[in-house]
Amino acid sequence: MSEDARESAVGSMAAALSVRRNAAIGVAVGLLFGAVAYLFRVLELAGPFGGTRQFPVLGESGWFLVLSFVLASSTALLVTSLLTVVSLARLLKNTEPIE
């Protein structure tokens, strides 16, 4: 199989599974969730931070920002994966068996 045919097949599969749409939704949900978690902690909506730790280099807000980025990234990946699996299940359900 030539390189162009392989890229065309992968592109067709990605289009059929709506990977681009799923990724956009996943990133939006991840960023929103990470931002809410960051603001919830930094604005102390649940009360003051109970720990007595010192946060080196970045300070408390910096470390929570890094943690919210990790949370946003992992949430985006999880949502994208779940939506793509749902798209695959729908695609397989609607296809007719080959005889």
Spans of all domains in the chain: 3-94
What tens digit of pLDDT does each residue of 45-65 get?
A: 766 666 656 767 777 778 888
Q: Taking the model in full, what pTM does it have?
A: 0.76
Q: Which of 27, 15, 26, 20 is nearest to 91 (CA)?
A: 15
What tens digit of pLDDT does each residue of 28-45 get?
A: 999 999 999 888 877 877
Residue 16 pLDDT: 82
Residue 96 pLDDT: 73
pLDDT score of 4 more than 80: no
Question: What is the pLDDT averaged over residues 18-27?
Answer: 92
